[in-house]
C-alpha cells in the first residue's frame, strides 16, 4: 500500500519545521496579535490596572499633610429661657486654618513609601500581563498539538479503513483468514473512538484559548507559522542578566523593600515633637443669624496659636512598633533573595528542558521516517503473503506513535522556549528574536 494518505498533512506541516519559511516578524505576528488581544480584553488586567489607580490615589493622599487644613463650624442653640450669660437663642460660628510644620519627617517618609508602592503596583501589572501572555502561548500550543493529534487520528483511521477493505477482499478470495479481518475491524473501531476523543480535545483547546483571549477564536485560520522554525537561544549568563534586570516580580519586590524601609523610618517620628500652627476665628451671636435681632451684634474672637506635642512615655509602644516595621523590611529582603534564587533555578531548568526537547525532536523526526519505511516493508510482505494482519496493524500503530512523539517533541520545544521568555520577561523578542 502506498503511504500517500499518511503523508498528506505531514509533508506540508511537520517536516517544514527544519526549514525557515518566514521572517521573524511574520512568524510571530499571529501569536503577538493573540497576546495583545488578551491584554486588551481580560478582566484580570483591568483589575490590576484598578489596583494601580488606587495606589496613585494613595500617593495623592500622602501629599495632603503638606497642605494647610481649613475647617468651618456652626452651632445653633435653643434654651427654654435666657440666662444672665446666654440668650435663649444663640449661635457659634468658627473657622480655623491650621498646618503642621514638623512631625518628625513622618509625612515625607509616608509619601515616599506610597510612591514606592505605586511603582510596585506598576510592576505587578506587568507581571499579570506577562503571565497572561504565557497562558496565551500555552493555549496556542495546545491547539496546535491537538490539531496535529486529530490529523494523526484521521490518518490512522484512513489507513485502517483502506486496509480493512483490502482485507475483506482478500478474505473473500481465500488469501487470508477471517480472524485477520476481525483484528483489523477491532482496531478500526478503536480508531473511530480515538478520533472522536481527539476532535473533542481539539475543540476544548479552542474554547480555552477563547477564554484566555476574552473573545472567539477562528481556529481554522490559525497557521502556526511561528512554529516552522526553531528559536535560537543565547547562553544562560546572558539570560540570567536579562532576567535580573527585567523581571517584574523582582522589581516589584525591590519597590516593596524600599517602601517598607520608608515606612519604618516614618515610625521613628513618634520620638520627635510635633509642631502645629493654627489661626482661628470665633463668633458668638444672640440669635441664629447675626444682625437679625435688633441690638445684638454678638462677640467675635481671632486667635493665632502654636502647639508643640511630645510623648515622653507610652508603655514602650514606639520602640516595639519600630522593631516590628524593621522586621517587615528584613522579611521583604529575604523574600527578594528567595525569589531571585527561585527564578534562577527555574531558568536553569527551562534551559535544560529546552536542550533535551530539541534532541528529542531530532530523534522523533527520524522515528517517523523509520516507521514509514517499516510500514512500507510490512505492507509489501503482507501483499505477498509473508506477513499477517497483526504485523500490519503493529506497523500502522507504530507510525501513529512516531507522529504523536513528533508532535509532543515539537510542542515541548516551543513550550520550553516560551517558558524561558516568561522567566526572563522578554516576550517582546517574538517581534525581534534574541
Enumerate residues 6+ apart whose C-beta is below 8 A from 103: 65, 269, 272, 274, 275
Q: Where does residue 246 rank: exposed (0-12), middle (13-18), buried (19+ CB within 10 A)?
A: middle
**297 falls in which pLDDT band (50, 70, 90)?**
low
Q: What is the 3-state secondary structure (H, E, C) of 243-282?
A: HHHHCHHHHHHHHHHHHHHHHHHHHHHHHCCEEEEEEEEE
| pLDDT tens-place string over residues 158-196 | 989 988 888 888 888 877 788 888 988 998 999 999 999
Structural domain boundaries, residue 207: 4-67+106-272+314-427
Q: In this predicted structure, what is the pLDDT of residue 290? A: 63
Mean pLDDT of 61-87: 88
| pLDDT tens-place string over residues 306-344 | 999 998 998 999 999 999 999 999 999 999 999 999 999
Domain assignment present for residue 60? The answer is yes
Q: In this predicted structure, what is the pLDDT of residue 28? A: 65
If one counts the domains in the chain, the total is 1
pTM, full prediction: 0.83
| pLDDT tens-place string over residues 196-229 | 999 999 999 999 999 999 999 988 888 888 888 8
Domain assignment present for residue 166? The answer is yes
Domain assignment present for residue 408? The answer is yes
Q: In this predicted structure, what is the pLDDT of residue 332? A: 96
Look at residue 433 and give its three-state secondary structure: coil
Task: Answer yes or no: are the C-beta atoms of 117 and 256 closer than 8 Å.
Answer: yes
Torsions phi, psi for 293 (to 5 deg): -105, 130
Q: Residue 149: how many CA atoms within 13 Å on its side-chain side?
A: 23
Residue, of 390 and 59, whose pLDDT is higher: 59
| pLDDT tens-place string over residues 100-138 | 999 989 999 999 999 999 999 999 999 999 999 999 999
Look at residue 90 and give its three-state secondary structure: strand
Question: Looking at 85-89, 112-116, 288-292, which range is the least confident one?
Answer: 288-292
Q: What is the CATH classification number for the domain harbouring 179?
A: 1.20.1600.10
Q: What is the pLDDT of the chain when averaged over all its residues?
A: 86
Q: Which residues of 388-406 are buried (b: 16+ CB within 10 A; e: fewer)?
A: bbebbbbbbbbbbebbbbb
Per mean pLDDT, which of 14-23, 337-346, 362-371 is the most reliable?
337-346
Domain assignment present for residue 369? The answer is yes
Task: Answer yes or no: are the C-beta atoms of 38 and 213 closer than 8 Å.
Answer: yes
Domain assignment present for residue 242? The answer is yes
Grid coordinates given for 101 = 510644620
In angstroms, the CA 221 to CA 242 distance is: 35
Q: Tell me which residue of 116, 345, 343 sits closest to 244, measured CA to CA.
A: 343
Tally of CB atoms within 10 A around 357: 20
Distances (CA, A) of 278 to 27, 101, 188, 305: 68, 10, 92, 5
In angstroms, the CA 134 to CA 212 distance is: 10
Q: Tell me which residue of 243, 244, 250, 222 sits closest to 419, measured CA to CA.
A: 243
Domain assignment present for residue 194? The answer is yes
Per mean pLDDT, which of 12-16, 175-179, 236-240 is the most reliable?
236-240
CA dihedral 130, 134, 140, 142 (to 10 degrees): -160
**380 falls in which pLDDT band (50, 70, 90)?**
confident
Torsions phi, psi for 412 (to 5 deg): -65, -35
In angstroms, the CA 411 to CA 161 distance is: 29
In angstroms, the CA 160 to CA 395 distance is: 11
Domain assignment present for residue 135? The answer is yes
Q: In this predicted structure, what is the pLDDT of residue 8? A: 39
**22 falls in which pLDDT band (50, 70, 90)?**
very low
Asked whether residue 293 carries a pLDDT value surpassing 70, the answer given is no
Max intra-chain CA distance, the chain: 133
| pLDDT tens-place string over residues 251-280 | 999 999 999 999 999 999 999 999 999 999
Amino acid at each position: 500500500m502506498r503511504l500517500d494518505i499518511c503523508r498528506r498533512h505531514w509533508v506540508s506541516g511537520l517536516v517544514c519545521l527544519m526549514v525557515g519559511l518566514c521572517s521573524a516578524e511574520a512568524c510571530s505576528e499571529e501569536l503577538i496579535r493573540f497576546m495583545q488581544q488578551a491584554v486588551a480584553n481580560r478582566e484580570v488586567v483591568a483589575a490590576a490596572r484598578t489596583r494601580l489607580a488606587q495606589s496613585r490615589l494613595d500617593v495623592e493622599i500622602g501629599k495632603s499633610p503638606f497642605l494647610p487644613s481649613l475647617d468651618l463650624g456652626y452651632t445653633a442653640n435653643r434654651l427654654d429661657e435666657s440666662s444672665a450669660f446666654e440668650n435663649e437663642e444663640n449661635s457659634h460660628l468658627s473657622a480655623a486654618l491650621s498646618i503642621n510644620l514638623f512631625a518628625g519627617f513622618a509625612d515625607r517618609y509616608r509619601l515616599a513609601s506610597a510612591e514606592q508602592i505605586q511603582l510596585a503596583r506598576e510592576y505587578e501589572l506587568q507581571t499579570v500581563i506577562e503571565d497572561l501572555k504565557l497562558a496565551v502561548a500555552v493555549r496556542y500550543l495546545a491547539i496546535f498539538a491537538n490539531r496535529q493529534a486529530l490529523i494523526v487520528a484521521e490518518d490512522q483511521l484512513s489507513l485502517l479503513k483502506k486496509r480493512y477493505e483490502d482485507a475483506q477482499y482478500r478474505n473473500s478470495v481465500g488469501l487470508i483468514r477471517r480472524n485477520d479481518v476481525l483484528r483489523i475491524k477491532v482496531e478500526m473501531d478503536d480508531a473511530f473512538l480515538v478520533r472522536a476523543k481527539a476532535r473533542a480535545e481539539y475543540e476544548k483547546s479552542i474554547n480555552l484559548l477563547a477564554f484566555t483571549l476574552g473573545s472567539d477564536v477562528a481556529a481554522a485560520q490559525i497557521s502556526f507559522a511561528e512554529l516552522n522554525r526553531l528559536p535560537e537561544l543565547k547562553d544562560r549568563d546572558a539570560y540570567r542578566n536579562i532576567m535580573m534586570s527585567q523581571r517584574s516580580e523582582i522589581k516589584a519586590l525591590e519597590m516593596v523593600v524600599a517602601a517598607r524601609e520608608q515606612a519604618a523610618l516614618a515610625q521613628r517620628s513618634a520620638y520627635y515633637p510635633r509642631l502645629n500652627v493654627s489661626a482661628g476665628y470665633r463668633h458668638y451671636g444672640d440669635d441664629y443669624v447675626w444682625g437679625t435681632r435688633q441690638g445684638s451684634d454678638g462677640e467675635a474672637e481671632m486667635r493665632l496659636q502654636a502647639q508643640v506635642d511630645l510623648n515622653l512615655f507610652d508603655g514602650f509602644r514606639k520602640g516595639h512598633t519600630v522593631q516590628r516595621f524593621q522586621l517587615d523590611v528584613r522579611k521583604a529582603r529575604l523574600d527578594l533573595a528567595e525569589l531571585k534564587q527561585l527564578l534562577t533555578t527555574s531558568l536553569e531548568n527551562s534551559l535544560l528542558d529546552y536542550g533535551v526537547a530539541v534532541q528529542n525532536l531530532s530523534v522523533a523526526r527520524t522515528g517517523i521516517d523509520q516507521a514509514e519505511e517499516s510500514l512500507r516493508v510490512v505492507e509489501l510482505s503482507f501483499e505477498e503473503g509473508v506477513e499477517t494482519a497483526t504485523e500490519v496493524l503493529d506497523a500502522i500503530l507504530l507510525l501513529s506513535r512516531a507522529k504523536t512523539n513528533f508532535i509532543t517533541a515539537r510542542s515541548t520545544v516551543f513550550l520550553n522556549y516560551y517558558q524561558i521568555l516568561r522567566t526572563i520577561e522578554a516576550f517582546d523578542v517574538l517581534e525581534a528574536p534574541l
